[in-house]
Structure 1
Amino acid sequence: MRKFILLLFCFVPLFSFAQMDSLVMINGDIIVGEIKSMDRGVIEIETDYSDSNFKIEWEGIQSMVCNTDFMVTLSNGKRVSGKIVSNDPESFQIVSDEEGTLDVDPNDIVYLKSVEKTFLSKLSASIDLGYSYAKANNLSQLNGSAFIGYNTKRWALSLSLNSLRSTQDNVDAIERNDGTLTGNYFLPYGFYGTADFRYLTNTEQSIQLRTTTSLGIGKYIIHTNAAYWGFSTGASFLNETFSQTTDENGDPFTKPSNNSAEWYIGTEINLFDTGDLSFNTNARGSRTLSGGDRWRADVGANVKYDLPYDFYVKAGYNMNYDSQPAEAGKEVDYQYSFGFGWEL
């Protein structure tokens, strides 16, 4: 009985170790734990001896042996589920039940995430707030944004929200709120089907509510663990209502509501192989199809710097252009924002 207990104590640690993942750095260091994800060129691993996860540059990994199942995205757009094993820094192997063993260049691994059946394991989220105040005219500005995403092997769903409110003495308050709900279905060779719903309220351009429902197709031109760059195009349906303003004579005036079909083309760039700094920009242009010669454009850019414990600071820019605005002389509206936030 005593010998059985001794053997049990010997084999339990070995069994526990066998369930773990191991990373070998190019300097020879070894880290044993559970790999959670690799995104934007940074791999995250949880260990028993640290109160926070280790984050390591992907290019600093020499080899790895994993017992965790991952959802892996390759630079050609292919998505594979399986374990990763490597003894050579020039070639990693993905062992998949569906496709057998695949030899891949580690630089072609764009994204990986541990595959778990829990809802939270497939969820990502962030939230940030910013505030500024100036004594002159009691100028006060509050801005905030939030993001939540859900990813599976074949599709992804995301929701982003932005809000700004500015007040000062003797001037009406200025508000700008926008949000986008996006669903993507991944296709072979870097293509994807995309559908989204957008809304905007903007007092500067007298937009009481603008909603846009779109359906299109996209393609990644560059898709690596250092950068993403893609285009999308399709059709959308626009619905608008406007706030009361004044005409050139100073009389009250409200532009009639509008429903129209549009064609759009958009692009998005993500750069993140810059240490703790990441950059994202997107632009989308739309042209009315149902009569008239109206052009619209929406442009956004964000620079984020990661801080310890999943906190970050972020600076952002948003611009809206409309060749036929509700209020004359206000074709363009833009905002700058700065915030402090936390991400899941």
Structure 2
Amino acid sequence: MKSPTWYNFIFCLFLVVFSSTQLTAQNDTLILKNKDKLIGDIKEMNKGVLTMETDYSDSDFQIKWKDVIYVSSQQTYLMSLSNGRRVNSKLQTKVGDSNMISLKQGDEIIETEISNVVYIKAIENSFISRLDASLSVGFNFAKTNNLTQFSILSNLGYTADKWGFTAGFNSVRSNQDDVDETKRTDANIGAKYFMRHDWFALVNATFLSNDEQLLKLRSSTQGGVGKYIIHSNRVYFATGTGLAWTNENYTDPTIDTKNSLEAFLSLELNMFDFDDISLYSNFVVYPSLTESDRVRTDLNLNLKYDLPLDFFVQVGLTHNYDSKPVEGASDTDYVFQTTLGWELD
């Protein structure tokens, strides 16, 4: 049997290890423009907002990055700069100059303005902490004809050191007396591999089903390259181009399945840190390479207003156009959605 002294030694050793773990986990320091000082654990900075966990608050602090005048951390982070460069480094304000950040990657010292840092993530963070997700739903009911409408908007994202993954699912269902159900569903899944100078390679797959254009399912697989034209703490603006292979099945069984090769040009705008309002828009043009004079366009526009506790209200517009629809189908389909949701950051 071990002596009580041995038990006491093990217990004291555990306390020392635990205490030092706690201290090293809470050794990041921030000083803000109003001279407030925060000590804790920097979790991330994304879209102009830095998230910090502290021992003296049950809730994480969220601080605008533009309000930070001093930062010091011995953690290693994955960081993106406004010129597109991705750096793995500790984070330290340059001594004597609060406008500059000093980074070290290998033997290279990188000094840049603090405003040029547009993304920060602790690379030792768990899988869940690299995820971004949101889900919002809407429901409408009218006594006249017992009209009911249900809509859902959802998004999922994951950021790794050199690549990013996104997925989305949106759906609208409407029912009323003496009228067939109308439905519209679109989904997407894609990945980007980040390269130097804000260039990236991209692979996407999109799916669309809607009654207005008689589409049972349109699936499109895309590959190409893109570049961030603007990559700041308030605005991301990117463009991309490449080729897409598209397959179309129709609700009318007498219409033959179509396969076509298309080029595509995309524009993506993401605006944030405008108080509690953010705007996301994606516009894609598909000129066909195998069908003469056929052009398709897809537009997604989402305006979001943040509420407390990670809830939000969102207004969305999705618009699809086809210059050569099949016989009996409309050339245009669109839907407005107003939803209430919650997001995981």
Tell me, yes or no, if the aligned pair for 1:85 and 1:95 is still in contact at 8 Å. no
Q: What is the Cα deviation at residue 11 of structure 1? A: 11
How many residues of Structure 1 are paired with residues of Structure 2 in the alignment?
331
Q: Which residue of 2 aligns with 1:95?
A: 104
Is residue 289 of structure 1 aligned with residue 289 of structure 2?
yes
Return the letter of the residue paired with 1:341.
Answer: G
Q: Which residue of 2 aligns with 1:82?
A: 89
Question: Separation in 2 of the partners of 1:75 and 1:131?
Answer: 40
SS in 1 for 2:309: helix
Q: Which residue of 2 aligns with 1:204?
A: 212
Question: Separation in 2 of the partners of 1:316 and 1:128?
Answer: 11
Q: Where does the alignment leave 5 or more consecutive residues of structure 2 unmatched?
A: 6-10
Tell me, yes or no, if the aligned pair for 2:213 and 2:329 is still in contact at 8 Å. no
Is residue 36 of structure 1 aligned with residue 43 of structure 2?
yes
Q: Which residue of 2 aligns with 1:250?
A: none
What pairs with 1:47-62 in structure 2 (closer than 5 Å)? Answer: 47-62=54-69
SS in 2 for 1:68: strand
State the identity as a percent.
35
Tell me, yes or no, if the aligned pair for 2:294 and 2:324 is still in contact at 8 Å. yes
SS in 2 for 1:189: helix
Superposition TM-score, scaled by structure 2 size: 0.91
Question: Separation in 1 of the partners of 2:124 and 2:21?
Answer: 20
Tell me, yes or no, if the aligned pair for 1:83 and 1:95 is still in contact at 8 Å. yes
Q: What is the Cα deviation at residue 150 of structure 1? A: 1.5
Q: Structure 1 residues 123 and 15, CA, compared in 2 at 3 Å: closer, same or farther? A: closer
Q: Which residue of 1 aligns with 2:239?
A: 231
Q: Where does the alignment leave 5 or more consecutive residues of structure 1 unmatched?
A: 245-252
Is residue 326 of structure 1 aligned with residue 341 of structure 2?
no
SS in 1 for 2:197: helix
Is residue 240 of structure 1 aligned with residue 240 of structure 2?
no
Tell me, yes or no, if the aligned pair for 1:52 and 1:309 is still in contact at 8 Å. no
What pairs with 1:252-331 in structure 2 (closer than 5 Å)? Answer: 254-328=254-328, 330-331=330-331
Q: What is the Cα deviation at residue 306 of structure 1? A: 1.5
Moved more, 325-334 or 14-23: 14-23
Q: Which residue of 2 aligns with 1:249?
A: none
Q: Which residue of 2 aligns with 1:72?
A: 79
Q: What is the Cα deviation at residue 217 of structure 1? A: 0.5
Return the letter of the residue paired with 1:173.
Answer: E
Tell me, yes or no, if the aligned pair for 1:163 and 1:176 is still in contact at 8 Å. yes
Tell me, yes or no, if the aligned pair for 1:25 and 1:60 is still in contact at 8 Å. yes
Tell me, yes or no, if the aligned pair for 2:214 and 2:329 is still in contact at 8 Å. no
Q: Structure 1 residues 133 and 11, CA, compared in 2 at 3 Å: closer, same or farther? A: closer
SS in 1 for 2:66: helix
SS in 1 for 2:35: coil
Question: Separation in 2 of the partners of 1:14 and 1:117?
Answer: 19
Question: Deviations 1:169-191 (Å, cap 9, x if unpaired)?
Answer: 11111111111111101111111
Tell me, yes or no, if the aligned pair for 1:143 and 1:163 is still in contact at 8 Å. yes
Q: Structure 1 residues 9 and 205, CA, compared in 2 at 3 Å: closer, same or farther? A: closer
Return the letter of the residue paired with 1:61.
Answer: V
Q: Which residue of 2 aligns with 1:180?
A: 188
Tell me, yes or no, if the aligned pair for 1:179 and 1:198 is still in contact at 8 Å. yes
Return the letter of the residue paired with 1:163.
Answer: S
Return the letter of the residue paired with 1:91.
Answer: M
Tell me, yes or no, if the aligned pair for 1:46 and 1:53 is still in contact at 8 Å. yes
Question: Separation in 1 of the partners of 2:343 and 2:17?
Answer: 39
Question: Separation in 2 of the partners of 1:107 and 1:117?
Answer: 24
Is residue 126 of structure 1 aligned with residue 100 of structure 2?
no
SS in 1 for 2:75: coil
Q: Which residue of 2 aligns with 1:340?
A: 340
Tell me, yes or no, if the aligned pair for 1:207 and 1:326 is still in contact at 8 Å. no
Question: Separation in 1 of the partners of 2:125 and 2:48?
Answer: 25
Tell me, yes or no, if the aligned pair for 1:242 and 1:326 is still in contact at 8 Å. no
SS in 2 for 1:121: helix
Question: Separation in 1 of the partners of 2:167 and 2:18?
Answer: 44
| Deviating 4+ runs (over 2 angstroms) | 8-19, 98-101, 326-329
Q: What is the Cα deviation at residue 228 of structure 1? A: 0.5
Q: Structure 1 residues 147 and 11, CA, compared in 2 at 3 Å: closer, same or farther? A: closer
Q: Structure 1 residues 197 and 12, CA, compared in 2 at 3 Å: closer, same or farther? A: closer
Question: Separation in 2 of the partners of 1:288 and 1:15?
Answer: 59
